[in-house]
Amino acid sequence: MLKKDFSDWLVVSDIDGTLNNKLRQLPKRNLEAINRFVLECGGHFTLASGRNVQSLRKHFEKLPISGTPAVVLNGAGVYDYSKEKMVRFSPINPDAVDIVRKVYERFPSVEIEVLTDKTIYTLNSKIFCPVMVRADKLNHNDFKRFSQIPKENWGKVIFLGVPPLITEVRKYIDSIPDKKANFMSSSIASFEMLEEGVHKGVGAMEIADMYGIPYEHTAAIGDYFNDYDMLKTVYLSACCGQAPQGLKEIAKYHACHCNKGAVGDLLEYIMDNYKEDI
């Protein structure tokens, strides 16, 4: 059987609940398919996550993709691990930063996590913020007042709390006119903010442009609404089997549950159905 050449393809994957299973472990099927796609077929594969550079690193380095930049902070940054360099970073504008102040003043029990290009700031850290930063032993600084937080280079903001509180936060933000920011749900207990027009799909297409990859050869897979814009952006969109209905409605390919190797499922589909043997 002749080898297939996928050197003009880019496949981008979310991490939690997509590349990794629900126990945050990498299924063997995913690793084997990535190895085949990248090492045998020459394809480009990378990760797109809400994680920062430090948190994403351990997942990135498990894969044979060291030369391909990754999308961090849900699209606020594109980072090249081979050069230890932020290729592109889109900070949140001052008007949008002020929305965070308004939310905190209106909902004093909400926990807030600010991810910059280099570090993490937490405000009102009680339950949710400690879990997020301690799980990956992330460098961070805790603050008691909003005014204390440095306002430069905010890449992403996460509002955290019990689901009823986050629902109210979301309703309030939705009522604000001319927000000049992009908002998305990442779980029932979190709501996120990025610079206007920024999302994972923007980063994915920037990486495709770096390699001269045509739009028709771009693919992405995710499992939740923070992947929505990315799936709407690429040519071949895919979602995991456990994804909510809203994501399934826009995905061209429905992979299996993440526990069964959803990324491997997508890559096998691509390698079996695209490209002629050479």
Lowest mean pLDDT among 46-55, 130-139, 254-263: 130-139
Tokens of 121: 């700031």
φ, ψ dihedrals at 212, nearest 5°: 65, 35
Q: What is the DSSP string of 80-134?
A: ETTTTEEEEE-PPPHHHHHHHHHHHHH-TT-EEEEEESS-EEEES-SSHHHHHHH
For residue 19, the 8-state DSSP code is I
pLDDT confidence of residue 134: 82
pLDDT of residue 239: 98
pLDDT at 144: 93
C-alpha triplet 226, 269, 23: angle, nearest 5°: 50
DSSP 154: E
pLDDT-based confidence at 3, cuts 50/70/90?
Answer: low
Contact 198, 75 (CB under 8 A): yes
What does the alpha-carbon distance between residue 200 and residue 231 come to, in Å, rounded to a whole number?
9
Q: Over the stretch 89-109, which tens digit does the pLDDT of each residue have?
A: 999 999 999 999 999 999 999
Average confidence score pLDDT of the chain: 95
User: What length is written for the chain?
Assistant: 278
- Rounded distance between C-alpha atoms, residue 186 and residue 162, angstroms: 13
- Average pLDDT, integer, range 209-227: 97
Query: What pLDDT, on the 0 to 100 scale, is given for residue 139?
Result: 87
Lowest mean pLDDT, pick from 21-30, 46-55, 137-146, 215-224? 137-146
Sign of the dihedral defined by the CA atoms of residues 208, 211, 212, 213, in that order:
negative
In this prediction, residues 230-239 reach a mean pLDDT of 98
Q: What is the pLDDT of residue 278?
A: 38
Contact between 236 and 275 (Cβ < 8 Å): no
User: What distance in Å separates the CA atoms of residue 114 and residue 68, rounded to the nearest whole number?
Assistant: 26
**List of domains in the chain:** 10-89+198-273 (3.40.50.1000), 94-195 (3.30.1240.10)
How much of the chain, in percent, has pLDDT values that exceed 90?
93
| pLDDT value of position 137 | 79
